[in-house]
Amino acid sequence: MLTRAYQHSLRGSHLPAGQPLLEVDNISLRFGGVKALRDISITVSEGDIHAIIGPNGAGKSSLLNCISGLYHPQEGEIRLHTAAGSGATEAVGAHRADAERADGPVRTHTLTKLPPYKIARLGVARSFQNIELFSAMTVLENLMLGRHIHMKKGVLSSMLWVGPARRQEIEHRQLVEEVIDLLQLQAVRNTHVGALAYGVQKRVELGRALCLQPALLLLDEPMAGMNAEEKEDMARYILDVHELAHVSVVLIEHDMNVVMDISDQVSVLDFGAKIADGTPDEVKADPAVIEAYLGAEDEDAEVQEAVALMEEQVAQDAAEEENRG
């Protein structure tokens, strides 16, 4: 799977595994009369894949938007803890225990009132529910844009090979090449993103977020709209990012099987409130979760019954019409 020697760490956080990385502390978010989030508290630990699940409109994307600074909750606080590394080598695929020796002092950042670009600079990277890439640019160019936060010289001068930007560009290119390798995007590096299959575009989006060397990666339905095979591929890439690059992930996903397979922790939202929290096994057995999900299935059954009745009625009307004519 790893086809080249990696030199760069793609992980922006050097906290020891298991320590609190992100604390969402009693946040509430309203849009006019709509309560999108009600008093939500969630702790994401360093080194985890932490899934957020829940029915449509439960508030999952709103929660991610609060973490990344697109929305600002009216109440509560969101804190990110980071630790600088000592500069020791911690390349992709290096053993996690080696990585942990590099811990520096822990710093706590309150994210709640920061604008998105400052939160991104602290190491919170994200992908969107709807793809947000530059479709007229190549895969490589889109990934280089993911590096811009770390560039002292502008992206444009880097692309044009101007002056001192050149050496910097080479450094960034090496890191981007490692992301391309990790996510197996070699074959499409120079293809315009708009020409790629949907599943590959989603992978490019993951790559762009990874190029930021995130402390925390937020993924909003990275497998939405994919068939079973594409989902399996994407799950594999997310696991690679997690296991080889040691990046902590918050993952929103509808497919329960995927979530239960790859997550360390799961938080369940329903109507803006958190109804359960725990390991996949704990959450699966939680009565509130079973009810929220079975409830949704019952609703589906009702809708299907209504549709069947209507179809029957339409067929009957058509038959009568034919008999008359």
What is the rounded CA–CA span in Å between residue 229 and residue 49?
21
For ligand ATP, the binding residue among 21, 24, 42, 58 (CB under 6 A) is: 58
Asked whether the beta carbons of 185 and 133 are under 8 A apart, the reply is no
**34 interacts with ligand ATP by CB under 6 A:** yes
DSSP count for the chain of H helices, then E strands:
11, 10
Contact between 61 and ligand ATP by CB under 6 A: the answer reads yes
Structure tokens of 248? 């902590």
Q: Which two tokens stand for residue 33?
A: 């009369």
> Smallest distance, Å, CB 52 to ligand ATP?
8
53 in contact with ligand ATP (CB under 6 A): no
Residue with Cβ nearer ligand ATP (141 or 253): 253
**51 is written with which tokens?**
């899934």
Q: Among 29, 42, 50, 61, which residue sits at the site for Mg ion (rule: CB under 5 A)?
A: 61
Which of 12, 59, 123, 146 contacts ligand ATP by CB under 6 A? Answer: 59
* Choices 53-61, 138-146, 267-275, 295-303 (CB under 5 A): range interacting with Mg ion: 53-61
Gap between the Cα atoms of 89 and 107, Å rounded = 21
Q: Which does 59 bind (CB under 5 to 8 A by kind): ligand ATP, Mg ion, none?
A: ligand ATP
Q: How far is the CB of 63 from Mg ion (least distance, A)?
A: 9
User: Is 31 near ligand ATP (CB under 6 A)?
Assistant: yes
**Burial label, 317 (beta-carbon count in 10 A; 0-12, 13-18, 19+):** exposed
| Beta-bridge mates of residue 29 | 37
Identity of the amino acid at 241: V
Q: Residue 26 CB, nearest distance to ligand ATP (Å)?
A: 18
Give the span between the Cα atoms of 283 and 293, in whole angstroms: 12
Contact residues for ligand ATP, defined by CB under 6 A: 31, 34, 36, 54, 56-62, 129
Contact residues for Mg ion, defined by CB under 5 A: 60-61, 129
